[in-house]
Structure 1
Amino acid sequence: MEGVVGPRVYSCYNCRNHVGLHDDIISKDFQGINGRAFLFSHAMNIIVGAQEDRRLRTGLHTVADISCADCHEVLGWKYERAYEASQKYKEGKFIFEKVKIVKENW
């Protein structure tokens, strides 16, 4: 019988600090600055930067960059506010760029 593996997690590609759980992925169908990105409901071991308004593919949003708490690599952003009603579900959620995270415990 195989041993029990802990929760599937995503880590910072640079330092392997755990930043998100697989179970917290809402969607893998997002676009980041560097390509494909994942929308997470929660994040851990991150630093949330200053808020700023950005015009993204889906309209104007107030976002804050999120960085690894250990190495300070920018990994994506947090949606603080969505100005369009159809985008409100993103508020309080996190974007991690696929190229900035790696799988652990898979």
Structure 2
Amino acid sequence: MEPVLDIIARAPLFNGLSKDQLEALRSIGTVQTAEKEQTIFEDGEPANGFYVVLSGKIKVYKASMDGKEHILHILGPGEPFGEVPVFIGANFPATAVALSPS
């Protein structure tokens, strides 16, 4: 199995999928890179897809009315994010930013 599939296979969301199913998932996915401090998605944007961290760290946060960040998650390799709004047909409820090259 190639490294991307190993990482995807560790994601709890995909637990129990066969190698063929993981390869099918990978074939419809896109590998994207993000520089440190690059925004991946913003609160309120349409959720047209979800993400699995392959490398680096991602911060998911909600901004308060006075602009303060309330960190919801710090995610690392193998962790999915943004999946709930995709499955329920909603917009992203928070902002995701790369804390390191990802």
TM over 0.5: no
Higher relative contact order, chain-length normalized (CA < 8 Å, sep 6+): 2
Bigger share in strand: 1
Name the structure where helix makes up a greater proportion of residues.
2
TM-score, reference length from structure 2: 0.26
Scaled by the length of structure 1, the TM-score of the pair is 0.25
